[in-house]
Structure 1
Amino acid sequence: MVLLWCSMFPFSLIAQNTSNTINGVVKLDEATAIEFASVALFQDNTSFVKSAITDARGRFSIKNIEPGSYTIRIDHMGYATYISEAFNISASQTVNLPPILLKEENNALDEVVITKKKQMIEVKADKIIFNVASSPSASGTNGLDLLKAAPGVTLDLDNSISLLGKSNVQVYLNGVQSRLSGNDLTTFLQSLTSDTIESIEIISNPGTQYEAEGTGGIINIRLKKAVATGFNGTAASSFTKGEEYRYSNNISLNLGLEKLQTSFDITQSHNNNLVLFDDRKQQNNVALLLDSRDNQIRDGYNVGLALESQLNDKHYVGLNGRAIFNTIDNRLNSFTDIFTVQPPELSEILFSQSLVDGTSTNYLVNGFHLWTLNDDSSITTNLSLGVYDSEQITMQPNTYFEADGSTVIEIDDTQFDSDTQINLWSAKVDYEKNWDNLSLTTGFKYAQVKTQNSFKFFNVSNQIPVFDPTKSNDFDYTENVTAFYTNLNFKLSEKWSLNTGLRIENTDSRGQLFSEVETDNNDVSRNYTDYFPNVSLSYDDQDKHSFSLGIGRRITRPNYQDLNPFESPTSQLVVWKGNPFLNPNYIMNYQVSYAFQQKYILTASYSEITDFFSRIVEITGNESTQIIPRNMEKATTLGLSLSFPVTLTKYWDLQVLGNISRETFKGDVESTVIDIDNTLWNYRIQNNIKINSDLLLDVTLTQRSRWIWRGSVFIQGTQGLSFGIRKDFFDKKLQLRITGSDILRTESEYPYTSDYGGIDLDGIYIADNRRFGLGLTYNFGGPKAESKNIKSGLDEELDRIQN
């Protein structure tokens, strides 16, 4: 119906073309065009109207101009600013300006004057932008910590990301999905440093130009821009200390020639993540009191290489790749006191360990070709390949003691080896066409995923592992996704616009379990087709008022490992088990936004997720439990958010962001009825203080109410106070940063409670969040300019990988 309704409009809109156009070309001399020059159009010498960027031939075109008197301003780093004489344009007129010659200016860098600084947080009708480069407290941290500081973004105790209360968020890098999830996404984000990140874009209701994957929305991390010409680079190092220490070192190099751009970056990082658990669990007639310390240590290298070339004025090609290498050294030590409830007495004590040693590697390659057919249309082709490989050996020594804590009852040591390999490839073609009042984007994508998983279980006797085939198995999974999509953007008038789109996806999958133990679900095949419409209506009077109304449907498919029916023990008493019958979940998003002067933003939203993913704890024995992903019938979120800036003095301003939402979780999960709701609110006050031109300070206060984890566990609310100081030296080439996060240690402890399915649970989770840090960044080389962003074809597939 969406496409049928859309098809009634385009030809009449095209026929109503009464637009005016300004064309021009910018050059250094008769033979040398200037690319990436910024062209700004002003009316009556004062009012900004529109802007454009010159292409590889120095050309620009500004369309849909009202009759009147205008001037053109052109800026490009390394050249003197050009301002034209005033000229008039009348109705239905095309103005072809004579060639504009810019003059080189050797000292242009010294003469640049910043007339308006970029705000740390920009709130727009369709997204929130967190400008990392403007935040001293963000400097020197890694990508995961940056997300914790981003407005509207929260991380749960599993480091799963939520956006405005909605989970299953997709992470993009420069407009391309990160292709990772779970622990590997955590490691990848930790390998990024804030010194390489320009901004974080938070998109709560994406349109069909984005992949349908991700029911919670999109977080797009934009790295700093590459060079257009010349050579430059950045070297950065940072160190933070809490209970444990973390550090990272990064170097980025960029070289831009006339028709070739190349970049290389490498980051070495060490992350020691400390987690303490005090947990009480009662099931049947047994109470378990757990005290554990978990050191999750990861050392890694993240290496990226990119080559891009403008072959001629119609063809732009590129090849980029990334390799991520990690070593894992996890040390979990736990004491569990085991009581009988009636009569209440200590029966035994379990001392257990989970010692994990492993490696993981990721190789990602994307090749693209941009074919510019003419000024109004283009075709983009992508071919992407990815390989993910993980090998882990886990030792789990377990010793049971009498109540005296010294008399040994039983020793039960086990070992298991888990290997995972995932191969992905995809092909994608997009066609774009622009008319005066209509733009069209349509395309096709095919993606294939093949996974091989091996799990070998050993009983350890006298330090000798003995293979147990009855607890060992292999799991293979193949998935093919074929997608077609179309997006139409109508300009109904100067103030109104309509965007409509439809994405159709067919998924064909098969999971096979190979084991000596016969099971009922050892071969599961699926084939289903889904439709994902998206419609949005926008109004902007170009003065004070603007609003938008959007409706969209999205999907989140299960992580590949969640479909694997392995039983993987996390301790002697707790087992993780996959679910091959886990269904994808779907969300309907409804959102209305209003902005006054583009400063005061009010957004109301409602979302409903069917087959919500929840990791449920289930009783499997008198003392034992299993954690298994299951589909919950429905989860809903009704929310309201408000943001506004406040200027206190010339040197002190702040940004206030607040959210309140009502969330519900309902379902009959394996005969256990879950029906819980919660009112969730949070706010963030960001203070930005400019002490002088080289010294900046920001102070951030956050507070969060009680929230729900895994769809069934209540987590007590927290509040936090953080700061950052940045000092510039040597004409801003060297930066020194001092940071502090959760300095009052009020955002490190998370008390929790839960009562469902015969399990009464409460405890406290303690994270290593109070940290103080020091960082240095040195910038060298020539001027920078923006390079092209080409989306990869391996989109959501790699997002679903997790260790």
Structure 2
Amino acid sequence: MKTLKTLIYIFVALFTIGKVSAQNTTRINGKAELKNGSSADFATITLYKSADSTLVKGGFSDDSGKFTFENIKSGSYYIEVSLMGFQNTKSAFFEVNGQEKLDLPTIILTDQSRSLKEVVVTASKPFIERKLDKMVMNVENSSLNVGNNALEILEKAPGVTIDKDDNLAMKGKQGVLVMMDGKPTYMSNADLANMLRNTPSANIESIELITNPSAKYDAAGNAGIINIKTKKNKNYGLNGSISAGSGYGQTSKYNTGVNLNYRKNKINVFGNYNYGNNGNLSSLKLQRAVNYQTQTTNFQQNTDWERRRNSNSYKIGVDFYATPKTTIGVLYNGYQNGVDGSSLSGTNMSNGAFQLDSSIAVSSNNLERYRNNAFNANYKTTFDSLGNELSVDVDYSNYFGNGNEFRNNSYFKSDGSINKNPLNINFSTPSQIEIKSAKADFTHPISKASRLEIGWKSSWVTTDNNFKFSNLVSNEWQNDISKSNHFVYEENINAGYLNFNTEIKKTSLQFGLRAEQTVSKGNSVTLNKVVDRNYLEWFPSVAISQQLSKNHQLGLTYSRRIDRPAYDDLNPFRDFLDEFTYQEGNPFLNPQFTNAFEASYTYKSKYTLGVNYNITNDAITTVTEQNDETKVTIAKNINLDTQKQYGVSVYAPFNITKGWSVNNNLMVFYMSFSSAIAGSQLQAGQTAYNFSSNQNFVLSKTSSAEMSFNYQSGLKYGIFTIKPQYGLNLGFKQNVLKNKGSLKLSINDVFNTRIQRISTNFSNMNISFNEKRETQTLNLSFNYRFGKNTVKAARKRATGLEDESNRIKN
């Protein structure tokens, strides 16, 4: 209680700092209007000193266009008014001489569309853009991403890889926190992949890759943060856009969507709906050799999947601008998705001379249904012109999923005759997840160059997974208790942070400290296993930037991060590929902790050289274990003692000609693992690199083209060796209908080279597998914008549902 009272006192003190009265000061009154005589409501108003354009105060006009600045000292000033869709307008210089009040002439704003009527803008942001603390993929205007979903776009991101189980990695490291519009998604890898597949590129503005976040962010994500920013309308009145597209690779793909935004007076209503119907083919080739006593058994397995995904995602929100400084909003997000799939699998078992002994043929059909509802209420207020700001979010989300798969296993001798009776099995995987979260963030500017941020967040998560395994016996389905499992997981995380930012001449400093307490309980009802945890961890962060001269800048960052296990990774149920191969959860999996260091040099605010070093303890990594006697191979996640990585990165954008720009990114790193695993010692490491090049071509005032190439070299990850992977993508864009419409054409993986090849020879294992997905596709889309071009954007805001959603699985 004493600590809580101290924090409350600090908060109140920060809230009241700066409320100092002044003598011989003046109140300035003014009004901003549009050229047609209507008021410029909620415009941004800034007061500057005339002598050197130093910012004095800032604020907003009210719903009648009026504004006021209090306690202004004597001097010469001017005011600037800015409003989306209109030119920034400055007042004439005026003098303040200690009078009680000063009424300024009305400031008239000019419609930006009229002043720019004769100007044709052909420049656009590059697909890849490097900023001081992050790398940005500008998806909105790129023709490379037409018809793609968010997961497919991330496969093109510099340094980002996605494995066969949909695990995201940055710079070769897994443990990435994915956020949507600044809010964590609270999903595990499989559920996150499902959501990203149902997020079309037409709904994405940009993607930010952040390697060393500050203490303000959740401490999750040892590899960094990927923030996906969705599109928001930026105008007044009613406007929106519609889109439709189609694609084909080996299967057909269709998508359509609509975005709407309406703003009137103090109310802003916005929403969107997207539908997708996408087929996908994939194949897996698995080979392994098992040595037991004097015998060798070779397994050769080929599996082909065909899936069709129907996705419906929707969002609706309302913002109420109660005053120029206070906004209250509610937001609803949801989706309903279904997957219909089938697979055929054949496994040949042979002796050491590869003479066929027996085989298994497996056919399966599965249905998957997922539903998610997420609600957010948000309150944001600015207390004064100094910039004291408070934001509060309350969130609730529920998730329902169910998979139902039927498999028929047939057994044959080497001559093709029946070996034994067929086995028919059924998997049913109903799951339910409930997430509640609340957070508050307060920003206090200590001075013009310094600010203090303080915040709190709590989340409560409950997951209920009931895996049911049944056998068909005498034409009746009978539940197999030994292979079924009911798992309930409860988790509460409480966090608080302090973050201080300041600028001292040419030096920028940021220091932060975050504390997170985790209380969890994993209960395998079927196995009667309960794992309780309660721990408190501290997460410091530091960022220093030094401007050496106009063209030279140095940067240094450090942060400590945590990655908690995905909810389903803690569930000890078994997911069977066949009777000799399955995957199981690990209820004793611990979180992993990472210390990340990075130094950077930037030349002319464009070219960047970076050096980084990361060390992770208790690294969560997938391994396989093999029982030579039973010939069974199990895949599961365990904690490895140490994972280390150090590397160098280079970012070099340049223009070859006036209409041809190139952005190159190269990362070279050495990654190593050290740990004892099931009685064997792992010491593995390899130098690897990732190179990406994105090129933009301006063909005319209304057309452009793009090309991107990505190469990931081979690397060692845990006990596995991963072979190189690369791909080339092309895109073309043509503006039509007076630039209100656009046609985009893209070809993904032009030469069909994206294939995953992974192997291991660790301990007693000799395993290799290749997976090929349907990556070579041709996509065409059309987008049309309609309505007024002066409607203000819906607010972009971060809710509290972030890290938890990253840990849900389908």
Given the two structures, how large is their TM-score scaled by the length of structure 1? 0.90
- The 8 Å contact of residues 548 and 594 in structure 1, kept in 2 or not, is answered as yes
Deviation at 1:673, TM superposition (A): 2.4
SS of residue paired to 1:724? strand
- Aligned residue in 1 for 2:430: 419
* Partner residue of 2:587 out of 538, 556, 580: 580
- Aligned residue in 2 for 1:455: 467
Aligned residue runs from structure 1 range 390-405, under 5 A: 390-405=401-416
Mapped pair 1:657 → 2:665: yes
Deviation at 1:51, TM superposition (A): 12
- Aligned residue in 2 for 1:196: 203
Deviation at 1:115, TM superposition (A): 8.5
From the superposition, tell whether residues 627 and 639 of structure 1 become closer, same or farther in structure 2 (CA, over 3 Å): same
From the superposition, tell whether residues 121 and 633 of structure 1 become closer, same or farther in structure 2 (CA, over 3 Å): same
SS of residue paired to 2:415? coil
TM-superposition CA deviations, 1:176-200 (whole Å, max 9, x none) = 1223232221221122222221111
Q: How many residues align?
A: 776
From the superposition, tell whether residues 543 and 387 of structure 1 become closer, same or farther in structure 2 (CA, over 3 Å): same
- The 8 Å contact of residues 548 and 554 in structure 2, kept in 1 or not, is answered as no
Mapped pair 1:504 → 2:510: no
- Aligned residue in 2 for 1:92: none
From the superposition, tell whether residues 279 and 131 of structure 1 become closer, same or farther in structure 2 (CA, over 3 Å): same
Provide the aligned C-alpha RMSD in A: 3.4
- The 8 Å contact of residues 78 and 109 in structure 1, kept in 2 or not, is answered as no
Counterpart-to-counterpart distance in 2, 1:43 and 1:202: 40
Counterpart-to-counterpart distance in 2, 1:640 and 1:110: 44
Counterpart-to-counterpart distance in 2, 1:56 and 1:23: 15
Deviation at 1:273, TM superposition (A): 2.7
Bigger mean CA deviation after superposition, 766-775 or 349-358: 349-358
- Aligned residue in 1 for 2:214: 207
* Partner residue of 1:371 out of 359, 378, 381: 381
- Aligned residue in 2 for 1:469: 481
* Partner residue of 1:596 out of 579, 599, 603: 603
SS of residue paired to 1:550? strand
- Identity level (%): 26
Mapped pair 1:389 → 2:400: yes
Deviation at 1:174, TM superposition (A): 1.3
Counterpart-to-counterpart distance in 2, 1:653 and 1:615: 40
Q: Letter of the aligned partner of 1:367 in structure 2? A: A
Mapped pair 1:432 → 2:438: no
From the superposition, tell whether residues 77 and 443 of structure 1 become closer, same or farther in structure 2 (CA, over 3 Å): closer
* Partner residue of 2:238 out of 231, 238, 251: 231
Unpaired segments ≥5 residues, structure 2: 1-5, 21-25, 70-74
Aligned residue runs from structure 1 range 28-427, under 5 A: 28=33, 32-37=39-44, 54=60, 76-83=83-90, 98=104, 101-105=107-111, 108=114, 111=117, 113=119, 114=121, 117-284=124-291, 285-341=296-352, 344-375=354-385, 376-427=387-438
SS of residue paired to 1:186? helix
Deviation at 1:650, TM superposition (A): 1.2
Counterpart-to-counterpart distance in 2, 1:40 and 1:660: 48
Counterpart-to-counterpart distance in 1, 2:685 and 2:656: 39
- Aligned residue in 2 for 1:65: none
Counterpart-to-counterpart distance in 2, 1:455 and 1:763: 27
Q: Letter of the aligned partner of 2:172 in structure 1? A: G
Counterpart-to-counterpart distance in 1, 2:66 and 2:651: 39
Deviation at 1:433, TM superposition (A): 0.8
TM-superposition CA deviations, 1:186-231 (whole Å, max 9, x none) = 2211222222211111111101111111111111111122345211
Counterpart-to-counterpart distance in 2, 1:410 and 1:702: 49
Counterpart-to-counterpart distance in 1, 2:80 and 2:122: 15
Counterpart-to-counterpart distance in 1, 2:237 and 2:417: 70
SS of residue paired to 1:561? helix
From the superposition, tell whether residues 358 and 338 of structure 1 become closer, same or farther in structure 2 (CA, over 3 Å): same
From the superposition, tell whether residues 789 and 40 of structure 1 become closer, same or farther in structure 2 (CA, over 3 Å): farther
- Aligned residue in 2 for 1:532: 539
Counterpart-to-counterpart distance in 2, 1:668 and 1:586: 18
From the superposition, tell whether residues 199 and 631 of structure 1 become closer, same or farther in structure 2 (CA, over 3 Å): same
Counterpart-to-counterpart distance in 2, 1:789 and 1:309: 14
From the superposition, tell whether residues 483 and 353 of structure 1 become closer, same or farther in structure 2 (CA, over 3 Å): same
- The 8 Å contact of residues 142 and 193 in structure 1, kept in 2 or not, is answered as yes
From the superposition, tell whether residues 488 and 594 of structure 1 become closer, same or farther in structure 2 (CA, over 3 Å): same
SS of residue paired to 2:416? coil
* Partner residue of 1:640 out of 635, 648, 661: 648
- Aligned residue in 1 for 2:501: 489
- Aligned residue in 2 for 1:762: 768
Deviation at 1:82, TM superposition (A): 2.8
Counterpart-to-counterpart distance in 1, 2:123 and 2:357: 69
Counterpart-to-counterpart distance in 2, 1:139 and 1:448: 38
- Aligned residue in 1 for 2:23: none
Mapped pair 1:551 → 2:563: no
SS of residue paired to 2:634? strand
* Partner residue of 2:573 out of 547, 566, 571: 566
Mapped pair 1:608 → 2:615: yes
SS of residue paired to 1:629? strand
- Aligned residue in 1 for 2:525: 514
From the superposition, tell whether residues 48 and 689 of structure 1 become closer, same or farther in structure 2 (CA, over 3 Å): farther
- The 8 Å contact of residues 552 and 590 in structure 1, kept in 2 or not, is answered as yes
Bigger mean CA deviation after superposition, 784-793 or 768-777: 784-793
Counterpart-to-counterpart distance in 1, 2:59 and 2:158: 30
- Aligned residue in 2 for 1:771: 777
Mapped pair 1:479 → 2:488: no
Unpaired segments ≥5 residues, structure 1: 63-67, 90-94
Q: Letter of the aligned partner of 1:446 in structure 2? A: S
SS of residue paired to 1:412? strand
From the superposition, tell whether residues 134 and 151 of structure 1 become closer, same or farther in structure 2 (CA, over 3 Å): farther
SS of residue paired to 1:108? helix
Counterpart-to-counterpart distance in 1, 2:31 and 2:668: 50
From the superposition, tell whether residues 552 and 24 of structure 1 become closer, same or farther in structure 2 (CA, over 3 Å): farther
From the superposition, tell whether residues 512 and 452 of structure 1 become closer, same or farther in structure 2 (CA, over 3 Å): same
SS of residue paired to 1:562? helix
Bigger mean CA deviation after superposition, 253-262 or 453-462: 453-462
TM-superposition CA deviations, 1:63-119 (whole Å, max 9, x none) = xxxxx9998765545435535567999xxxxx9994661235395386274496433
Deviation at 1:609, TM superposition (A): 1.1
